[in-house]
Structure formats: C-alpha cells, structure tokens
Amino acid sequence: MATQFLQSLISLSAAFLLCGFSAFAQADYYVGDTIEFSTLGLQDADHAVIAVNSFGDAIVANHTTFAGHSKAVEVNILLSLGPNPSDGFKLIPPKKLGDPTLDIYGYGGDSCLKPDAEAMSDDSFIIVWERRELSNRHPSRLEICRIFTRDAAGNLLPQPTIQTAQFGEGYILDDTSTAGDGGFMPDIAACDSSNPTAVFVVYVHEAMKKVRPATTYRDYEIRCRKMNWNSTSQAPLLGNITTIQSGIAFDNNAGSPYEGGMVLPDAVFDDSGNLVVAYEQYIIAPHFGHSGAAKGTIQVRRYASSPFAEMDALEFTGYADARLERRPMLASSNADSNNRVLLGWVERFSDAAIAHRAHFRSIRFDTGAAGHTPPVTIPWDESFGLEDDLPQVAMSGRTQFLISSRSFPNQISLISSYKNATAQMTTNQVNTGVNYSWRPSVVLYDFNTFTIGFFAFEGADTNAPSLFKTFLRIKKIQ
C-alpha cells in the first residue's frame, strides 16, 4: 500500500503553539530513534503502513496473527510534542481496529488484514482494511475508520479518538466485490485542502478465475469509491462504486504458482487534482488474444476525478518481457513546483528467485490537461548485485526519495537514495539497528531548513528473531 505524502508545512510554529499538553508531556522518542512497536497479537506483526499529518503526528497500522490463520488490524500512534526535532514524540500503545473475534459473518472465524493508512487534509487519519471469512463461504469486505489526534484548533487531545462502527469493526466501504486469490489490496488517496475531509479508495475486484492444466487465468478490475467524512460522529458519506479499469490479467503457470497479492494498485493525486493509479499485469497466451511469451508490465493511468475519464495511459517494462513486474508505488507533492509523480516497482526474475531488481521513474504530467513528457529513469545503485525488493518512493516540496530492501547473505537492509532541487542523488544505508529490515513505508516531512523521514518497516523481533515485528525509524534525510 501508497500513501499521499505530506505536501508542505504551513505556519508550523504557530500551529504548534496551540498544542495543549505538549509543553509538559514527556517525550518517548526523538528524531534519530528506532521504535519497536508492541502488538496485541501473538507476538508477530507485519504489513506496516504509515501516515503523517501536518503537525508531525504519525500512525503506523499493521496486521498481526490473532489465532491460527486469523489476523487482526491494529494501529500505533505517535504524537508530535513540538515544532522542533528536540521536542520529541509521545507513543500511544497499540489499539485494535479490526477484531476477528467479533465473528461478523457468523461462521466461527474472521480475519482482518492488509491495511492502508492516510492523513486527510484536515489532519485526521483514515485506515482501511479487508475483513474476510476464513471458510470462504461469504464475500470479503472492506472496512474503514477515522482517527483524531487533535481538536479543530490543533490542540492535542488527551487521548486519540477512533471514529468507527463499533469497537473492532469499521464502517463498511464495500461488501459486494470479490477479493479472490489476492485480496482487495486497498490504497487511499486523500484530496487536497479544497476538500479536506474527502478521500478516494482504490482496490481490486477479481472478475474471473479459470484454472487450466498448465495455467491459471485471472481477470481483475480496479474499483474506486469516494467518501466525504464531514461529521466527527457519524459514518462517512459514500459515493458510488466506480470501475475505473477492467480487463487486467494476472495469470500463472501451474509449475510456478504465485501466492499473495495479485494486483496491488497504488494511487495519488497530481497537482491538478487528477487521480493517478499504478498497477501490475502479467498475461499468458491466449488470454485477451495475447500471443507469444508471457509478458509482465506496470501500467499507470491518470483520470479526471469527476467524472472519471482516462487522461493518460503509460506502460513500463523491465529488462525482459517474461519477468514479473510487481508492487508499483507512487508519490507526488503539491509543493514541488511541477506536476511530477515518482514511480517505483520491483522486477522478479521468477517468483522463486532471490535476485530481484528495483526500478524507478519520474513522470511529469501536463498541468490541467492530458499529456506528459517522456518518463525519466532515475538511477539506482546496484553495485552490490541484483538483490533489491519492495521498493518505495516518497516526495516532499524539497526532496525526492527512493528506498528498497536489499538482501545480503545473512542480512536484509534498507538502502535509500535521495536528491533535493540542487543536489545529485545520494545513496545511503538506513541504519535501523534491526535484523532483516524490509518492506518499507515512508513519509517525508519538511522543516524550514531540512527534511526528516518516517520509515515504517518490518524486521526481526528483538526477543524472538524468527518472528517479525513492525518498527519505525525517524531520521534526518538532509
């Protein structure tokens, strides 16, 4: 899952003067620290996603094993205590958002998994997740909730509040679509300050699955639903469910079946308020009339958001057509003075191979109209070999940022590369102090003279290294 990265700091110092208890609260963490989050589950936790609001408050959502194959969705909340890095952050212990023990479907077991998180322009947070019924006798559904860390004046609340249907259950976003083999894989794009309580959620619907002796064929659609959350005490106002893309193939050879998420859309808004969506496709003949070798691509579409109408269509390939191009990630910023969107994805030589390659592109769309300049390849240092996976991109008004997991013989580390308006790309290892750091989710935060990064990621549990926990690293970028 993409986040809508923090756009700019507006009157930051004045806003922080409103923080009610911040001058007296004791900070738990500071810039430069790495936080290992506790969990309400059975020790393990993964699939961390992060969002940060304009005050510097952060939420990290993840899912965790609750019982057997059942998972729960939880959130850790970090409150910013002032406008300077030295003011630090206060940690609120994990809260359960998606509780599988509610047994919503009545078949004896649910599972809540794969959340996405986003900060709205009013500085509240949105989290969306999938709830599925483990015996697969009922369609899955998407649930959503809202979190407040501050009041309307910008003061920190005594405790964050969660606006939801009931404890452990979110408001229903969609219970009519089919999650299928890969799950819904939702992603949230928040509208700008002209519509501060509105978001769009994109997700996939498995329209067809056909199993043949040698190949499994699947067709997917990308669906989108807008919601406007004006009230602080009622459910959001939901727009229509709209299919914005159909006929997406994700096929598998029987000899090397792919498991996990199939089509993972990521979405952002460009500077003109148009929705940009990236997704993967893998097609094997004769699906949709395709002939020849199997082909993997990353697809990018730009849509006018009201009503949805396709403005631009781009296709990206890797080093060989038959390889899987996977997990596209997008980033944009209204504060970067041009209509640029960053794209990152991973190319897998085969599903079982260790060696993977990260790809990054910069796309500049025409402002207010269809059209774009030719995408530019962003250099990425592969000096240590082809061992990169799960790339992520982030943007602020000052900085473009790339990051990927890199596998070494006995270690997985996070490797990053960044540039500002005047500098060349600079590559560094993110020193997390955690074994097997991978699957990063990043938000950038601009101060007046420098940028910090909030890095959510997974890594080895300090007390049980065979299990994974979620972590947060707060680091000065430049």
Task: Say if pTM beats, i.e. exceeds, 0.85.
Answer: yes
Is the Cα torsion angle 436, 439, 444, 445 positive or negative in sign? negative
* Cβ atoms of residues 149 and 162 within 8 Å: no
CA 102 vs CA 99, 165, 328: distances in Å: 6, 12, 34
- pLDDT tens track of the chain, all 478 residues? 444 434 333 333 333 333 444 444 789 999 999 999 999 998 899 999 999 999 999 999 999 999 888 999 999 999 999 988 889 999 999 999 999 999 999 888 899 999 999 999 999 999 999 999 988 778 899 999 999 999 999 999 999 999 999 999 999 999 999 999 889 999 999 999 999 999 999 999 999 999 999 999 999 999 999 999 988 888 999 999 999 999 999 999 877 777 788 999 999 999 999 999 999 999 999 999 999 999 999 999 999 977 789 999 999 999 989 899 999 999 999 888 789 999 999 998 765 666 789 999 999 999 989 999 999 999 998 877 778 999 999 999 889 999 999 988 888 999 999 887 666 788 888 889 899 999 999 999 888 788 899 999 999 999 899 899 999 999 988 7
The CATH architecture of the domain made up of 12-476 is 7 Propeller (2.130)
Q: How far apart are CA 5 and CA 295, in angstroms?
A: 31
DSSP 8-state code for residue 43: S
List of residues 6+ apart from 92 with CB closer than 8 A: 76, 77, 78, 79, 159, 160
